[in-house]
Amino acid sequence: MPGRSTILKYLAERREAIGFWVGAALGFAAAIVANVVPYIQTYGAYGFDGVEIIGFPFVFRSFGGFSAAYKFSHLALSADIAFVLTVSVSVGFLTKRSISFLSRRRGFAWCAGPPQPHTPWQFTLRQLLLVVMLAALACAVDKYLAAVMNHWPPLIGPH
């Protein structure tokens, strides 16, 4: 019987780390979709005296209403970005934890002794640095979006 290929060995040895990043990516995508869905549902509502909003759980941009008011909250945008990062890391951690729980052997060989205890909060330095880089990127995106959305729409009403 031939042995496993090197890619399968690599994936088997790093299944918890891969599970963390796949879960983090899925959590990130879900949180971004949750932020965009209110905008999709209210797109163009300002044309009918409605309010167009963006953000979940905090609305950081609203435009419309009877007087066509524009409101932008940098604090709510920062809180939404923190929410997205928290959801992403939490889902990644839960995925890593569930993979390690499912892959743990229930029994042990008496000659080998009991299995080694699992360390739940063990992250590699690479994962920690990537999370810090994602947080720095989120801060940069926050500043850029705040600068762009604070001046949007440029002029309202007749010129």
* Domain boundaries defined on the chain: 11-103+120-149
- Residue 153 and residue 88 in contact, taking contact as beta carbons nearer than 8 Å: no
Res 25: pLDDT:
92
141 is written with which tokens? 């995106």
Cβ-based neighbour number of residue 61 at 10 Å: 19
Alpha carbons 132 and 130: distance in angstroms, whole number: 5
pTM for this prediction: 0.63
Q: What is the pLDDT of residue 34?
A: 92
pLDDT, one tens digit for every residue, the chain (159 residues):
456 678 777 777 788 888 888 999 999 999 999 989 998 998 888 778 788 888 888 898 888 888 878 888 888 888 898 899 889 989 988 998 888 777 665 555 556 666 666 666 666 777 778 778 888 888 788 777 777 766 655 544 444
Contact 88, 34 (CB under 8 A): no
Other Cβ atoms less than 10 A from the Cβ of 53: the count is 19
pLDDT of residue 155: 46
